[in-house]
Amino acid sequence: MREKSLMIVGLNHATAPVELREKLAFEPAELAGAARRLRAQAAVDEAAIVSTCNRVEVVAVARDTEAALDGLKRFLLGERRSSAPARADGCLYAHVGAEAVRHLFRVAASLDSLVVGEPQILGQLKDSYVAAREAGAVGAVLHRLFHRSFAVAKRVRTETGIGSGTVSVSSIAVGLARRIFDRLDDKTVLLIGSGKMGELLVRYMQRSGARSLMVTNRTFESAVRLADEFRGNPVRFEDFPRYLKLADLVVGCTAAPQVILRAELVADALRERKQQAMFFIDLGVPRNFDARINELDNAYLYNIDDLKAVAQENLQEREQEAVKAEALVREEVASFLRWLDSLEQVPVIVALREKFEEIRRRELDKSLGSSLKGVREEERQAIEDMTAAIINKILHAPITRLKQQGEEAEEGLYADALKKLFGLEPKHKPFP
Amino acid sequence: MESFFLKATAVLYLIATAAFILYLLVPRKSTARGSLLVLSSGYLLHTLAVVVFSTREGFPAVAQTREALSVYSWLLVGVYLLAQIKYRLTALGAVIGPLAFLMCFSAFAFGSAGGELPPALKTYWLPVHVTFAFLGNAVFALAFGVSLIYLFQDYQLKHKRVPAVTLLFPSLETLDRLNYTFLVWGFPLMTLGILTGTLWAGMGWGSGWSWDPRLIFSALTWLLYGGLIHGRLTAGLKGRKAALLTVVGFVVVLGYFLWGDTVFPTRHAGRFE
């Protein structure tokens, strides 16, 4: 019915493996050029490319839907230097019209992300839009579509808790540390062991402000190496109990088969540091720290399973919030479609008015030339006004109805009926 | 008239309580501002009630239990609003709001109103003594509030739970520091309250100390808070235990304040024989 339609063709983390996504992805610097090439396709009026490590998509406004979809698919698969594997075609999805709008809004709101609620996608979408605009590939529809999608993302973020709670082990540990400690920059971290996760966590802590670090390990050399890497102080393994009282955060990540830190030792340390709180993070499997540490006042012990449980909880919370977000997206899609429809109604309204005006003019001229010949100027003016008023009165109801039509179920029904009943041929392009 | 103001105040404190709870459930800037606004409006009305009563009676409105409760909650909300300006403790409103409401409400429900003030009490000692004693206890109420939040937060962390509401609370470290700050402010005020009371009693009743239940309770709580501060400074009495003691101490004080006079009738209470 619409002579032009909105469409999205692409693949994402759910439909395509990472190797394929990598092959098809665009570098940020390539985005503008690719959008320009797309725009050059005969059927395509507007185009933008969204490319992240989790998705490669083409958003377009085109006239001949079928031909354009075909062109977009060929563009996605053929554009890349490395020839895409044959099965790539099966990984592609295509959304047209309302579905396309919904898809982009969901992507912007991070509902379609691998980690639902992650915030990066909005920035990536903005980059895509800017690149396409610079390439001159964005028209009124995509302009509005993208701006609405940014607004939707913002609404979802502020009106639902979808971005709340972190889901990585390191960020959860640091989040917990912030519940215990006011600030991290005056705290000391003690890292025991050289496991990968421990390193990751300590790096995250340092980025979160922690400055003072002690590192210990059974082999002193690797403690020295790690301490160098993190600009911390190496401590001999047999000495670390003596330094324990200095540590506010203690990270354990060794492959030791037995517990290396007993609760008694921690109780002593707490006494010596006058009950200043201590946070123990046990990343070791099997456990590095005595579970009874958690029973001591002002000592908090979390092991890797505890942290993962919190992550799981946060994920579930996000999923619940996502339901609210979906409702919000539906609302926004409906509102966008109304705008799109109102664009389309305009030509019908203009044609209808022109048709009626033409009839009025013709009949009026005819009468003024014969039966009404010789009326005075003011009488002629009165007749003009009256006929114009009649037409306005007749057209008032149908035009009002047409303008509201986007909100009704029978989309485009009236416009079609009017075109047929009055033999309207819009002179304007139906889609600006 | 002041009774109408006081009732309206109680209603506003109740709305503020609901608003603070709403803030905990829906933590937005709007809910935070809204609850503080309602509490502040209640406070203004409350000020009016206290002033109107005191001018009419010609002496500070603290003699009868009803007025005493009203003035105490008035000081409590005032101290909280001051602390809010300095420390941004909106979540603490969820403790202070209900406390203030409960006291205003109790003022009607349990307090005897009016009554002529015996000439013995019509001295400037009364406002001075009562102001210090109440102000000290109002600051302890803040210590109680942050300690309550501390215990909640501590419990959640120990049990590996992180409900969203805990994000609104300050860290344990901050809460513990605030506990100390409020104790250190409240203690001298309480001490001054007891000192002025002793001096006054020495002149009025002929002896500074008597084995009056209220005096015994005051002495006990004074020792408790004093011991708490001492323990904090020297023995590493920190975190959970300090919070627990603060809460217990305040509950005892509050309990005595509300019901002590009924259980242990004394000349110190709102009855003058």
pLDDT reading at B64 higher than 80: no
**pLDDT band with cut points at 50, 70 and 90 for residue A428:** very low
Q: Give me the pLDDT at residue A309, please.
A: 86
Are B137 and B72 in contact by the 8 Å Cβ rule? The answer is yes
**Residue B271 confidence (pLDDT):** 39
Residue A181 has its nearest CB partner, among B158, B171, B238, at: B171
Whether the per-residue pLDDT at A3 is higher than 80: the answer is no
Nearest CA among A193, A166, A93, A184 for reference residue A314 = A166
**Which of A49-53, A75-79, A378-382, B94-98 shows the lowest mean pLDDT across its residues?**
A75-79
| Residues of B with Cβ-Cβ distance to A268 under 8 angstroms | none
Contact A274 B238 (CB under 8 A): yes
In whole angstroms, give the CA distance from residue A20 to residue B63. Answer: 83
Average pLDDT over residues A324-342: 89
User: What pLDDT score does A409 carry?
Assistant: 44
Q: How sure is the predictor about B110, in pLDDT bands with cuts at 50, 70 and 90?
A: low
Return the sign of the alpha-carbon dihedral for residues A31, A36, A38, A43. Answer: positive
Smallest Cα–Cα separation from A304: which of A288, A292, A323? A288
pLDDT at A248: 94
Q: Which residues 99-158 in chain B show a CB within 8 A of chain A?
A: 153, 157-158
Substitution target from B88, B149, B159, B171 for chain A, most A beta carbons within 10 A: B171
Tell which of A166, A182, A320 to mutate to test the B interface (max B CBs under 10 Å): A182
* Per-residue confidence (pLDDT) for residue A430, from 0 to 100: 45
A286 vs A95, more confident: A95
Residue of A281, A293, A298, A321 to mutate for B, most B C-beta atoms under 10 A:
A298
Rg of chain A over CA atoms, in angstroms? 33
DSSP letter, residue B90: G
Give A261's strand partners. A289
Among the residue ranges A84-88, A268-272, A325-329, B149-153, the one predicted with the least confidence is A84-88
pLDDT above 60: residue B272: no
Per-residue pLDDT, A125:
92
Whether A243 contacts chain B with CB within 8 A = no
DSSP state of B259: I
Catalytic annotation, pick one of A53, A151, A390, A394: A53
Examine the pLDDT at B273 and tell me if it is beyond 50: no
Residue A392 at interface with chain B, using a CB cutoff of 8 Å: no
Task: Look at the alpha carbons of A404, A408, A412, A418 in this order and tell me if their dihedral is positive or negative.
Answer: negative
Residues of chain B with Cβ-Cβ distance to A298 below 8 Å are 238-240
Which residue among B160, B171, B240 places its CB closest to the CB of A178?
A: B171
Q: Which two tokens stand for residue A187?
A: 């705290």
Percent pLDDT > 70 in chain A is 92
First to last CA, chain B: 28
pTM: 0.67
Distance from CA of B26 to the nearest CA of A (A): 10
Residues of chain A with pLDDT > 90: what percent?
34
Give residue-wise pLDDT tens across range A227-266: 999 899 999 999 999 999 999 999 998 888 888 999 999 9
Chain A residues in contact with B235 (beta carbon < 8 A): 274
What is the phi/psi pair of residue B72, to 5°? -60, -45
Using an 8 Å CB-CB cutoff, list chain B residues near A274: 235-236, 238
pLDDT of residue A432: 40
Q: Is A53 a catalytic residue?
A: yes
Tokens standing for residue B32: 């935070």
Amino acid type, B257 = F
* Pairwise CB contact (< 8 Å): A271 & B236: yes
CA nearest to B83, candidates B158, B137, B138, B133? B138
Residue A104 pLDDT exceeds 90 = yes
Average confidence (pLDDT) over B192-214: 75
Q: Say how far residue B85 (Cα) sits from the centre of its chain.
A: 18
Confidence of residue A165 (pLDDT cuts 50, 70, 90): low
A179 vs B236: CB contact, 8 Å cut-off? no
Minimal CA separation from A13 to chain B, in Å: 30
Q: Which helix (H) or strand (E) holds B93?
A: helix B93-109
Between positions 5 and 64 of B, the ones with CB within 8 A of A are: none
- Note the pLDDT of residue B121: 63
pLDDT value at position A197?
Answer: 86
Measured between CB atoms, which of A176, A182, A294 is closest to B174? A182
Nearest to A34 by CA among A80, A70, A67: A80
Measured CA to CA, the distance from residue B138 to residue B191 in angstroms comes to 14
What are the backbone angles phi and psi of residue A216, rounded to the nearest 5°?
Answer: -135, 155
* B 161-180 near A (Cβ less than 8 A): 162, 164, 166, 170-174, 176-177
The number of C-alpha atoms within 13 Å of A383 and in the hemisphere containing its C-beta is 15
CB contact under 8 A, B158 and A294: yes
Q: Which of B178, B234, B238 to mutate to test the interface with A (most CBs of A within 10 A)?
A: B238
Beta partners for residue A216, in sequence order: A192, A235
d(CA A139, CA A127): 16
Min Cα distance B235 → chain A (Å) is 7
Nearest by Cα to A94 from A8, A207, A1, A200:
A8
Q: State the smallest CA–CA distance between residue A306 and chain B in angstroms.
A: 7
pLDDT in tens, A199-235: 889 988 998 888 899 999 999 999 999 999 989 999 9
Max avg pLDDT among A20-29, A339-348, B162-171, B221-230: B221-230
When CB atoms are compared, the residue of A179, A297, A317 closest to B240 is A297
Is B268 a residue whose pLDDT tops 60? no
| Side-by-side strand order, sheet with A5-12 | A44-52, A55-62, A5-12, A93-96
Burial of B121 (0-12, 13-18, 19+ CB in 10 A): middle
Q: How far is the first Cα of chain A from the last one, in angstroms, to the nearest whole number?
A: 16
Residues of B in contact with A309 (CB under 8 A): 160
Is any Cβ of chain B less than 8 angstroms from the Cβ of A98?
no
Do the beta carbons of residue B170 and residue B89 sit within 8 Å? yes
A209 touches chain B (CB under 8 A): no
> Three-state secondary structure along chain A?
CCCCEEEEEEEECCCCCHHHHHHHCCCHHHHHHHHHHHHCCCCEEEEEEEEECCEEEEEEEECCHHHHHHHHHHHHHHCCCCCCCCCHHHHCEEEECHHHHHHHHHHHCCCCCCCCCCCHHHHHHHHHHHHHHHCCCCCHHHHHHHHHHHHHHHHHHHHCCCCCCCCCHHHHHHHHHHHHCCCCCCCEEEEECCCHHHHHHHHHHHHCCCCEEEEEECCHHHHHHHHHHHCCEEEEHHHHHHHHHHCCEEEECCCCCCCCECHHHHHHHHHHCCCCCEEEEECCCCCCECHHHHHCCCEEEEEHHHHHHHHHHHHHHHHHHHHHHHHHHHHHHHHHHHHHHHHHHHHHHHHHHHHHHHHHHHHHHHHHHCCCCCCCHHHHHHHHHHHHHHHHHHHHHHHHHHHHHHHCCCCCHHHHHHHHHHCCCCCCCCCC
Nearest to B173 among A182, A274, A310 (CB): A182
In angstroms, rounded to a whole number, what is the distance separating the alpha carbons of residues B214 and B267? Answer: 9
- For the stretch B149-184, pLDDT in tens is 999 999 999 998 877 777 788 899 999 999 999 999
Q: Quick one: pLDDT band at residue A429, thresholds 50, 70, 90?
A: very low
Residues in chain B within 8 Å Cβ distance of A165: 162, 164
pLDDT of A431 reads: 45
Q: Give the 3-state secondary structure of residue B41.
A: helix
The pLDDT mean for chain B works out to: 81
